[in-house]
Amino acid sequence: MCGITGFLWSTGSGPDPERVLKTMTKAIDHRGPDSDGHWMDPQAGVAFGHVRLAIVDLSAAGHQPMQSASQRYMLTFNGEIYNHQKLRAQLEATGHAPDWRGTSDTETLLACIDAWGLRKTLEQCIGMFALGLWDAKNRVLHMARDRFGEKPLYYGWQGTGAERAFLFGSELKALRAHPAFEGQIARSSLVDCLRHGNVGEDRCIYDGIAKLRAGRIITIDQQTGSEQIETYWDAAEIAVRPKPQRVSDTEVTDALEGLLSDAIGQQMMSDVPLGAFLSGGIDSSVVVAMMQALSDRPVHTFSIGFSEARYNEAEFARAVADHLGTKHTDLYVSDKELLDVVPQLPHMYDEPFADSSQIPTYLVSKLAREHVTVSLSGDGGDELFGGYGRYVHAAKLRAKLQKMPHSLRQMGAGAIRALPMPVLNKLLGGIFPTPQGKEPIGQRLHRLANYARQPDLETLHRTMVSNWRFPDSGVLNAEPPVSLLAEALPPRGDLSEIERMMQLDMATYMIDDILAKVDRATMAVALESRAPLLDHRIAEFAWDLPLDQKVRGDQTKWALRQVLYRHVPKELIERPKMGFEVPIGLWLRSSLREWGADLLHPDRLNRDGYFDTALIKGMWDQHQSGQCNWGAQLWNVLMIQAWLEDTQA
């Protein structure tokens, strides 16, 4: 695992490119503490930087940037190609293999590109990656990102005139280090961050900078500056392709177990110590179970525990670890240890990011890094196999609502929302008390009324995954961005309502939240995280299944459970889904109150000029009084404010 950066510039102008490149590379050295590398062609006006976390082939033969045997291509590469040994064998069998210098997957990748070209190579690769590839023959820069966007890649033109440059990198820190970087905040992206807690899809917090979408290749012509984007794999399209003939439950379980064994076996490839995150839930447990079945020694597993029982999964993880015989390490953390992470978040996440589970994710990554350099996770299981409870809840809610005329639903919802939340709390609070850290009854009723008013599945789903109902009302002089969840919806095909929500989450929430969260948290401690459930062969298999072999009745992730039950008793697994929840709402009334009040002080908000000060102050006051729990909504604003403070320091 590594970090990459680079730029194109007009030769003969601008600052010293070597000095700039080293500064950009230094900005992301946490991603690769083992070595750094720099390459440039001043005549062509191209420069590549690389920082290395050595995982496969620890020798100098794996050093980057790396040139192909033909000398046509130069590559800076972040990621892993899990099937690279098979690709080597394929090259050797067809007479296309060079004289190998080492055993790294980077060298394999370059040899494949020499033989087949970039697109065909990526179509053959199983892995996670972001890369920059200079083609000296055609004087073009290619960049590509893996099928699910596990590895980040930012890019864009910055500066004007002779100072204009094309910048790219694994993190915005690298781009900010270039003198041409402009740093103009994109207000529409602030709207995005209020709604979802992140800046999603191909958008960025800065004007003129974008993220390359998952499964895409972009080509930039150095001479003309033109850009061309092509798609070599699209998860949303895979979801709607025709399903094959149904097979029996036993055949599904056998086939999935075989795929998991192969994918996990490939991802256990490492020349450094390797382990796994284990929460005790379905996804991480099935990954660890298969790892242990493939290993001749106890797999090292890691989990984080909390003092409050309703947040704590560590005891379940320990039970699964004991059954499988792993070498298990867990760490129980206090509120203070969680809170001590908060000041680090803006710099760590590089762009406003407000999923509060980022805090325990960082701590479990830090724990794992004390023992291993690579850790496997269960990420992806929810979106591919229907794991979120809201899928079933939303489908049931839709079924009930559709029995009522739309006009009647609108009237009922309007009547509820006509009563202010404090009034509803006073009327019904004695009957429906507020659980600690949760929403009062008035707020819950307003939320349900909002669900009831939605005319179709897409708007209901978007409402359910939105922290802010009208985020553009909170940001001054901003328009909501065009989104895959609204104006740019992907094809639905014949998907059921649950499958449609899974498809949308796979294309948005999984990439923009889950995978971004894990990448930044693990890279902050120089730990490589791998997600074998996101092997594209498993994803394609999952989408070929009929819905009832993923969600059966109220039971989610049916197929994964059947595989897991072959290794772990049901009684160790069957319990309500928990997740890495932390009590942000409670903290903002106690330990984080002073910190939050400072960041949201009206003088500061007015000075920055991004948010509606009166609206934010009203929410803060309502939260402090207990009339509402705006913890999640305020956390989004606070992460933006903290990020602004960090980047402007």
Mean pLDDT of 327-331: 95
Residue 428 has pLDDT above 90, yes or no: no
Q: Read off the DSSP letter of residue 182.
A: -
Residue 505 has pLDDT above 70, yes or no: yes
CB 401 within 8 A of CB 452: yes
Specify the amino acid at residue 241.
R
Residue 179 has pLDDT above 80, yes or no: yes
Tens digit of pLDDT for each residue in 532-581? 999 999 999 999 999 999 999 989 999 999 999 999 999 998 876 666 67
| Structural domains of the chain in order of their starting residue, each with its CATH number | 2-233 (3.60.20.10), 237-386+500-572 (3.40.50.620), 583-649 (no CATH)
Q: In 3D, which of 524, 572, 605, 474 has the Cα closest to residue 193?
A: 474
Question: Across the beta sheet with 210-211, what order do the strands follow?
Answer: 35-41, 46-52, 2-9, 165-169, 154-158, 210-211
- Average pLDDT of the chain is 94
SS3 sequence, 112-156?
Answer: HHHHHCHHHHHHHCCEEEEEEEEECCCCEEEEEECCCCCCCCEEE
Residue 238 has pLDDT above 80, yes or no: yes
Mean pLDDT of 455-463: 91
Mean pLDDT of 258-278: 95
The predicted pLDDT at position 74 comes to 98
Mean pLDDT of 270-278: 93
Residue 1 has pLDDT above 70, yes or no: no
The predicted pLDDT at position 410 comes to 86
> Distance (Å, rounded) from C-alpha 144 to C-alpha 131?
5
Mean pLDDT of 437-465: 90
Peptide bond connecting 65 to the previous residue in cis, omega within 30 degrees of 0: yes
Q: In 3D, which of 541, 568, 574 has the Cα closest to residue 556?
A: 574
Residue 436 has pLDDT above 80, yes or no: no
Mean pLDDT of 149-176: 95
The predicted pLDDT at position 397 comes to 86
Residue 518 has pLDDT above 90, yes or no: yes
Mean pLDDT of 525-531: 96
> Distance (Å, rounded) from C-alpha 198 to C-alpha 189?
9
Helix spans in 148-248 (H): 172-176, 187-196, 235-240
The predicted pLDDT at position 4 comes to 98
SS3 sequence, 273-302?
Answer: CEEEECCCCHHHHHHHHHHHHHCCCCCEEE
What does pTM read for this prediction?
0.95
The pairing of strands 2-9 and 127-135 is unpaired
The predicted pLDDT at position 62 comes to 86
Tens digit of pLDDT for each residue in 578-605? 666 788 999 999 999 999 999 999 999 9
* CA distance readout (Å), 378 to 44, 62, 218: 43, 28, 29
E strand or H helix at 417, and its extent? helix 406-418
The predicted pLDDT at position 582 comes to 82
SS3 state at 48: strand
DSSP-assigned beta bridge partners for residue 333? 306
Segment among 22-36, 401-415, 417-431, 572-586 with least mean pLDDT: 572-586
Place of tokens 């002080």: 601
Side-chain half-sphere CA neighbours of 200 within 13 A: 29
**pLDDT band for position 460 (50/70/90)?**
very high
CB 143 within 8 A of CB 132: yes
The predicted pLDDT at position 313 comes to 79
Mean pLDDT of 215-230: 94
Mean pLDDT of 178-194: 97
Helix axes 314-324, 282-294, angle to 10 degrees: 20
Q: CB neighbours (10 Å) of residue 129?
A: 23
The predicted pLDDT at position 310 comes to 59
> Distance (Å, rounded) from C-alpha 542 to C-alpha 604?
49
The predicted pLDDT at position 13 comes to 67
Tens digit of pLDDT for each residue in 48-101? 999 998 887 778 888 999 999 999 999 999 999 999 999 999 999 999 999 999
Residue 649 has pLDDT above 80, yes or no: no
Q: CB neighbours (10 Å) of residue 609?
A: 11
Tens digit of pLDDT for each residue in 109-144? 999 999 999 999 999 999 999 999 999 999 999 999
